[in-house]
Amino acid sequence: MEFKQEWLEEVLTARSRAYTPFSHFKVGAYLVTKDGRAFYGCNVENAAYGPTICAERTALVSAIAQGYRPGDFKMIVVATGADKPSSPCGVCRQVMKELCDDDMPVLMTNTAGDVIESTVAELLPNGFSGKDLTND
């Protein structure tokens, strides 16, 4: 997938909204649905740490709250300010496994515009989700 400059601009806008008074590690997410709608996410930290939410989950939860359902997502772009693009954390990988198609692109970038492309399945090989449950 060819990475577009507009995606970098959108995800960096999302990243600029992050609330990170403790780690100072801002992350932004730009989620695009199959029907072309976009949702933004940023990490929001909490002094108790456990309630902190990541950018990827913020974007996905926002989309679900607006009526989108698992499988409605086309791609997600995630940006950090690190020297090289950073991968989503384990919790975000699990949530993506639950809500996104296995072949959905996950584009990781940084403020310099370096890009690593992956898929949900590549980020969480042999993952388990509600798709694996049966009502036997």
SS3 annotation, 29-76: EEEEECCCCEEEEECECCCCCCCCECHHHHHHHHHHHCCCCCCCEEEE
Q: Is position 56 annotated as part of the catalytic site? A: yes
Q: Is 115 annotated as a binding residue?
A: no
Which residues, in sequence order, are CB contacts of 129 under 8 Å at separation 6+? 94, 97, 98
Q: Name the active-site residue from 2, 6, 10, 56.
A: 56
**Is 100 annotated for ligand binding?**
no
Annotated binding residue 38: no
**126 assigned to a ligand binding site:** no
The response to whether 92 counts as a known ligand-binding position is yes
As annotated, the binding site for Zn(2+) includes 54, 89, 92
Active-site residues, by number, are 56
As annotated, the binding site includes 43-49, 54, 89, 92
